Amino acid sequence: MQLITIDPRALAPNPDPLRRTKATPQADALLLATIRAVGVVVPPIILPQPGGGNGYIIQLGHRRVEQAINADLAEIRAIVADPDVDKDALKALVETISHAPLNPVDLWRAIERLIAPTWTEEAIAVALAQTPRQIRKLRLLANLLPAMLDHLATGDMPEERYLRTIAAASTDEQKEVWKKYKPGKANPRVSWHQVAHALEKKRMYATDASFGDELAQAYGIAWVEDLFAPADQDGRYTTDVEAFLGAQQEWMSTHLPKRGVIVETGQWGDPKLPPKAERVHGKPGKSDHTALYLDREGRVQNVVYRMPEVQKPKDKGHATAGSTEPAMAKPRPDVTRIGQAMIGDLRTDALHEALARAPIEDDMLLALLVLAFAGRNISIASGAASNVYGFARMERHAVRLIGEDGKLGFDHETLQQVARAVLIDALSCRENRSDSGIVARIAGDAIGADGFLPNMGTDEFLSCLSRQALEGSCRDTPVLPRQRVKDTRAALVEHFKERSFVHPAARFLPDKAKLTDWLSRNAVAEDADAVDQLEGQDGEDGDQFAGEEAEALRDAA
């Protein structure tokens, strides 16, 4: 290496610079002011012209040379590097970043150059003080439309989840979506959420497939590796949903058990069993049937059901004998059982989405875990019990917290993710055996899950309301109740097309009376402990006092 003095105007720019996007005007102004005050402190690094030509080209320090010219400096010092020794791309990248940060697109291009020869993602991450995940995220830019890259160079970078969705789409698909959502003068920023949503494709994972490689080949399924999946998990997936479901259907057809049938699913993902069929939750009998079906994720599920025995017709004569008055019809509830079930499903989906996306402090997360394990749908199997199925569901979360040495070892981010996943599996508002009870609603209210409830101003939900409840929904709206219920419902559906409606019965905050009842019922255990302590006091006076207090506590309980 050699230090020389040279006119900055005699230096030619590098034809393949690391920084392709100009630095901000503020950064250039600061550099110019520094050079005018004290000159060029750190000499730029130059190389002889390739091919034996006269003059030099700039290897590092384009901005310093440019601002030295703007400062009217006749000469600056520069370091002439040996082209056979100093072609260290990583050093060049690190020094360039140290003077002014590169935008994501320029940084990605520089990383791609390093990976091609010898550098690994992990080594580059250490050198740049980045995480390997951040390096892999930047490498997704290789799959983006050039027009999108030009916009990303301005600093408008999407979140990783949106970037992965966009990068998974083809160039033609990206081009069509970009025409609709590209920035304009009125809105210079891009709604990456809308872009990703337009390009999103449902993924069907290999871990959910019951079929093997033979059926996968027959249906033309090509598995794609998810680069962000944990190393110890099978992250393969396909976006060919039709082929995946077809292979699952064929597998079910060839693996039907005795007295088994394949059934379809309803709107909420539950199997459509034959009329009058009763689900069997215990040990199935010899005459019971098995129904196979595909759930919302395309997984093969099964339920056991039992058909009722044929009953002899009952004598209906005595039911109306001597009765001349018509029977009084029961008043219809505000929300039917179907509507209540829909509310349970909607609440659960909103609760799970809030647990996955809403900001939750660590103390709140611990409180939610306490609530979750107080749920009615949680059962714990002891070591002496023969049924340990209760542990199997949570094991897949627990293993993520165990290191290779068999000890607990995890970072804060992993713990947050696992805790949220456990809460999603544990808490439920559905109107079935999985219902967690009032604790799920308390949890949902605590994390603002009301904000994740969908628009319920649909014909499907409003048809579940009584006339009184339907007309009550007209409050705070310009809609007036009609003579016919269906006309009122149609007017409300039209009104709520442009705005969101959530029925008060669907909100998470529990009814005060139910909450008070739940709190009082679960305070009995503390009273019982107090009784035991009082009855255990020594002494004659103490025994008499304990007996009176214990009797009072029993009466209160």
Q: Is residue 480 part of a domain?
A: no
- Spatial distance between the Cα atoms of 149 and 155, rounded to a whole number of angstroms: 10
**541 pLDDT higher than 50:** no
373-376 LR contacts (CB < 8 Å, sep 24+): 373/426, 374/439, 375/426, 375/427, 375/428, 375/436, 375/437, 375/439, 375/440, 376/435, 376/436, 376/437
pLDDT for res 189: 80
Residues 410 and 508 in one domain: yes
Average pLDDT of the residues in 480-505:
89
Residues 506 and 399 in one domain: yes
Nearest to 245 by CA among 227, 221, 223: 221
Average pLDDT of the residues in 477-492:
89
**528 pLDDT higher than 60:** no
Q: State which amino acid sits at residue 220.
A: G
Residues 345 and 385 in one domain: yes
pLDDT for res 373: 59
Q: Is residue 459 part of a domain?
A: no
Residues 298 and 363 in one domain: no
**445 pLDDT higher than 60:** yes
Residues 4 and 58 in one domain: yes
User: Is 450:316 a contact under the CB 8 Å cutoff?
Assistant: no
pLDDT for res 133: 64
**347 pLDDT higher than 80:** yes
- Spatial distance between the Cα atoms of 209 and 212, rounded to a whole number of angstroms: 8
**Segment (H or E) for 27:** helix 25-38
Q: Which of 102, 133, 163 is the last residue of a domain?
A: 102
pLDDT for res 531: 45
The structural domain count of the chain equals 4
**535 pLDDT higher than 60:** no
pLDDT for res 121: 57
Q: Is residue 170 part of a domain?
A: no
Give the residue carrying structure tokens 């950064």.
27
Domain that holds residue 275: 256-309
> What percentage of the chain reaches a pLDDT higher than 70?
71
Q: Is residue 395 part of a domain?
A: yes
pLDDT tens for each residue of 370-401: 667 556 676 643 332 333 333 335 666 777 77
Tokens for 409, please give them. 């070892």
pLDDT band for 131, please (50, 70, 90 cuts).
Answer: low
Q: Is residue 449 part of a domain?
A: yes
Residues 24 and 46 in one domain: yes
φ and ψ at residue 501, rounded to 5 degrees = -130, 130
Tokens for 166, please give them. 């966009």
Q: Return the C-alpha torsion angle 411, 412, 417, 423, nearest 10.
A: 120
Is the full-model pTM beyond 0.75? no
pLDDT for res 437: 86
Instruction: Kindly give the interhelix angle for 438-446 and 362-372, rounded to the nearest 10 degrees.
Output: 170
Each residue of 374-407: b (16+ CB within 10 Å) or e?
ebebeeeeeeeeeeeeeeeeeeebeeeeeeeeee
